[in-house]
């Protein structure tokens, strides 16, 4: 009785640490501290659970801690910031497969069956399988192992619906007759893995931030279901927190794109360009690093708008150095952050934080748009769809209605880009042809370094 009381007290402590850590994660200033507190809370919960269950003795627990710490430390050092979205996708997948395995193992350990446990066990397996295979496909798209474009075929939605119904029917039979449910459980696992693949392949690269947050939510819901199946309170709490926060973030991402979740999942966004997008033409005006320097040198205010191209070029440190030079020259410098810039939620914030950009200089889209007409120069560093005026002006555009950063309304726009290739949405960007836009072609990091050289020389 006393041992159980101690265990529950540790669980309550861990839950409080999760909630407090989640609160700290809402601010970039305290995010690292919040992550550490949450990690300590999970460490305590895992150790106490293993000790209480008598599953593993102390030497194996210690070995697991050492191996897990080494693997985590190794990948924390090895993985580049540009690969962070892929890493997050894999984290979601591992969470899903863990819930699937917990649910499957619980079925083998049960001596008796009841409706509640079998239902939650089924949900843990189904949602865990979908999360795992869907996350692997998301990882493949993000890392370009498979195409990032939507993969569509005739009857795809119907097939997905049939697989989902078959999984539900299999679950009903499994719950009704659990004693002989082993073959059905295997079938449910196979169907869940198939559903995860088929649910993510029709989603294009432009929607990856939404998919990442949704799969994160799925992993939490699967963990919560697994916690209910094995009657583990801390797993229920942690899964519910992850599931709820993931759903909230998914909703924020959808609003930032002015699209419904249904449209993201089943719209095949970016698969084809509409006629008004494909036929749009104009004349671009290239600019050299030397001329860019003269424009920047005369500017009193400047706004950097980062996108995935900045991540690819690893240009965040060069951006920070150029910003420092502009401030030394008397200019006011800020960074405009779009909610879906990059390939995961908060991608640009993470990159700029790595370059030690002050947090108070990161300005949200709505706030910067209110004053952008007075900005002397906007430097678009590898961003595309999030600054495309077609989202505001062209009703035939596939991104029409998506909130954008209105850089075209500033006095001068300089776009740093390798080529005229379209962004994730697969459509041309009419910003590039505006009268007040200049294109600085080339690798973003090299281009910025060339401008910095001009500042230092002149």
Q: Catalytic positions, please?
A: 385
For 200, the enclosing helix (H) or strand (E) is helix 182-200
Given a contact cutoff of 8 angstroms between Cβ atoms, the answer to whether 365 and 337 are in contact is yes
- Residue 380 backbone phi and psi in degrees, to 5: -90, 110
Q: Are 393 and 324 in contact (CB under 8 A)?
A: no
What whole-number distance in Å separates Cα of residue 73 and Cα of residue 171? Answer: 39
At residue 145, the 3 state secondary structure works out as: coil
Two structure tokens written together for 372: 């952008």
Give, in order, the Cα–Cα distances in Å from 324 to each of 127, 331, 401, 409.
48, 9, 35, 24
Q: Among residues 103, 115, 117, which one has the least CA distance to residue 186?
A: 103
The residue assigned the tokens 């910067």 is 368
Contact status, residue 206 vs residue 336, Cβ threshold 8 Å: no
Cα–Cα–Cα angle for 349, 350, 354, nearest 5°? Answer: 115
Picking from 200, 207, 197, the residue whose alpha carbon sits closest to that of residue 269 is 207
Cα separation, 378 vs 99, in Å, equals 46
User: Max alpha carbon distance in the chain (Å)?
Assistant: 81
Strand partners, 158: none
């Amino acid at each position: 009785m006393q041992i159980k009381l101690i265990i529950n007290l540790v669980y309550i402590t861990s839950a409080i640490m999760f909630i407090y850590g989640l609160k700290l994660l809402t601010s970039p200033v305290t995010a690292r501290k919040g992550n550490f507190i949450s990690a300590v809370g999970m460490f305590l919960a895992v150790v106490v659970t293993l000790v209480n269950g008598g599953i593993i003795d102390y030497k194996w627990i210690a070995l697991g801690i050492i191996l897990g710490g080494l693997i985590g430390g190794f990948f924390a050092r090895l993985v580049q910031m540009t690969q962070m979205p892929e890493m997050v996708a894999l984290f979601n997948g591992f969470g899903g497969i863990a819930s699937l395995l917990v649910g499957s193992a619980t079925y083998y350990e049960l001596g008796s069956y009841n409706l509640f446990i079998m239902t939650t066990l089924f949900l843990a397996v189904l949602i865990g399988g979908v999360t795992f295979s869907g996350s692997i496909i998301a990882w493949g798209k993000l890392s370009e192992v498979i195409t990032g474009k939507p993969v569509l075929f005739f009857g795809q939605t119907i097939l997905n619906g049939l697989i989902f119904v078959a999984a539900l029917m299999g679950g009903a039979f499994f719950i009704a007759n659990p004693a002989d449910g082993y073959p059905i459980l295997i079938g449910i696992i196979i169907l869940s893995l198939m559903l995860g693949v088929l649910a993510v392949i029709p989603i294009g690269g432009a929607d990856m931030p939404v998919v990442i947050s949704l799969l994160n939510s799925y992993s939490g819901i699967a963990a919560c279901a697994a916690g209910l199946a094995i009657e583990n309170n801390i797993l229920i709490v942690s899964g519910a927190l992850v599931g709820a926060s993931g759903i909230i973030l998914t909703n924020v991402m959808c609003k930032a794109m002015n699209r419904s979740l249904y449209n993201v999942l089943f719209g095949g966004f970016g698969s084809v360009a509409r006629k008004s997008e494909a036929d749009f033409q104009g004349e671009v005006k290239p600019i050299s690093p030397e001329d860019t320097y003269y424009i920047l040198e005369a500017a009193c205010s400047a706004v950097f708008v980062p996108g995935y191209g900045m991540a690819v070029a690893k240009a965040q440190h060069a951006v920070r150095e150029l910003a420092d030079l502009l401030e030394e020259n008397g200019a006011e410098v800020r960074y405009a952050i779009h909610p879906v810039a990059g390939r995961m939620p908060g991608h640009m914030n993470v990159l700029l934080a790595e370059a030690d950009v002050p947090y108070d200089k990161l300005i949200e889209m709505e706030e910067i748009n209110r004053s952008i007409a007075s900005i002397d120069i906007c430097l678009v560093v590898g961003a595309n769809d999030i600054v495309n005026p077609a989202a505001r002006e062209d009703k035939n555009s596939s991104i029409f209605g998506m909130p954008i950063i209105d850089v075209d309304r500033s006095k001068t726009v300089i776009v740093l880009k390798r080529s005229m290739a379209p962004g994730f949405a697969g459509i041309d960007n009419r910003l590039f042809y505006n009268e007040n836009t200049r294109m600085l072609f080339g690798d973003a990091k090299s281009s910025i370094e060339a401008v910095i050289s001009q500042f230092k020389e002149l």
